[in-house]
Amino acid sequence: MAARAPSGSPAEVTLEGGTAVMVKRGNAPGAVRAEVTGLRWLGAAGAVRVPAVLGHDERWMVTERVPTGQPDGAAATRFGHALAALHAAGAPAFGAPPPGGPEEAYIGLAPMRNAPGGDWPGWFAEHRLLPYLRRAVDAGTLRPAEAAVVEQVCERLPELAGPAEPPARLHGDLWNGNVLWGADGEVRIIDPAAHGGHRETDLAMLQLFGCPHLDRVLAGYQEAAPPADGWRRRVGLHQLFPLLVHVVLFGRGYAERTLAAARGALTERTE
C-alpha cells in the first residue's frame, strides 16, 4: 500500500498493480465490525448501492473506491425510489443491529447502542434520546431546564410518533456527507450507523444539513412509498437524535437548534 489512513478517516490508497481503494481505520473497538456488517446488510437489500467491502480485520477496512461526479436530478429521483426499497427490506426489531454486528456500535465518533425494543416510541426515548440527553446535561452543554423540554418529548412520544410502522432497514446516519454521487450517475451511501428503526428518521437526517436535489429525492421516495400522513411535521422529532449527538460531540453550539426541534415537536399540529 502507498499510504495509511488516519483513525476514523478514509484515505485513498493505490495497491500494487494500480488499483485504487479506500482504507479506513476504526476509531474504537468494534467500529470496523459495525461498519462492515452495516454496509453488507444495506447492500443485501438490493436497493441503494454501497461500496463493496474488499477486506477487513478488527482495526482496518478496505472498500472499493467510487469515482464521484456531480449531483443529478434524475439520479436523485432514483435514489428516492431506492431508499424506499431499502427501508421496506425491514429489520427484525427496532434497534436490531445488522446480522453479526455488535450491540455497542457508533454513529460517527459517538457510541450508539443497538438494543432491540418492542415499540418505536419507547425504544427511541430509551435508547436514542435519553442517553445523549443525560450525557449533554452531565457535560454542562445542556442545562437541566433545557433538558426538561426534551424529556417532555420523550413522555409524549406515543402521541407524537404518528401511525405505527414496522421496523425499517435504516442507514442511520444519512446526512449529505454520507451520500456519494457516482460518476456513473448512481448514488451510493457510505459510513452507516445501520439498525432497525423508523423510516422517517433517515428522511429527517437528509433534511438536517441539506442534500443536493433534496426535493427530487423526497419526491422519488413518495412515489415509491408515501410516508404516513403528517410526516413533515415530525421531521424535527426525528432530528432530535442526531442533534443531541452533535451537542455531545461538539458542544453548546448545537443546543439552541436541538431545543427548537424539541419545542417544534411539542407544538406543531399541522403540515
Residue pLDDT, tens place only, 17-34: 888 999 999 888 889 999
Work out the angle between the directed axes of helices 214-224 and 73-88 (0-180°, nearest 10). 40
Q: Pick from 185, 176, 179, 177: which is nearest to 70 by CA?
A: 185
C-alpha cell at 56: 477487513
- What mean pLDDT is reported for the chain? 93
What is the CATH class of 67-267? alpha beta
**What does the pLDDT look like over 82-120, one tens digit per residue?**
999 999 999 999 999 999 999 999 998 899 999 999 899
pLDDT at residue 1 greater than cutoff 60: no
Beta strands in the chain, from DSSP E residues, in sequence order = 11-14, 20-25, 53-56, 60-64, 104-107, 110-113, 168-170, 179-181, 187-189, 195-197
The whole-angstrom separation of Cα 47 and Cα 87 is 9
**What does the pLDDT look like over 232-271, one tens digit per residue?**
999 999 999 999 999 999 999 999 999 999 999 999 653 4
pTM: 0.93
Beta strands in 99-245, from DSSP E residues, in sequence order = 104-107, 110-113, 168-170, 179-181, 187-189, 195-197
**What does the pLDDT look like over 22-77, one tens digit per residue?**
999 988 888 999 999 999 999 999 999 999 999 999 899 999 999 999 999 999 99
- At residue 8, the pLDDT reads 57
pLDDT at residue 124 greater than cutoff 50: yes
Sketch the domain layout of the chain as residue ranges: 67-267
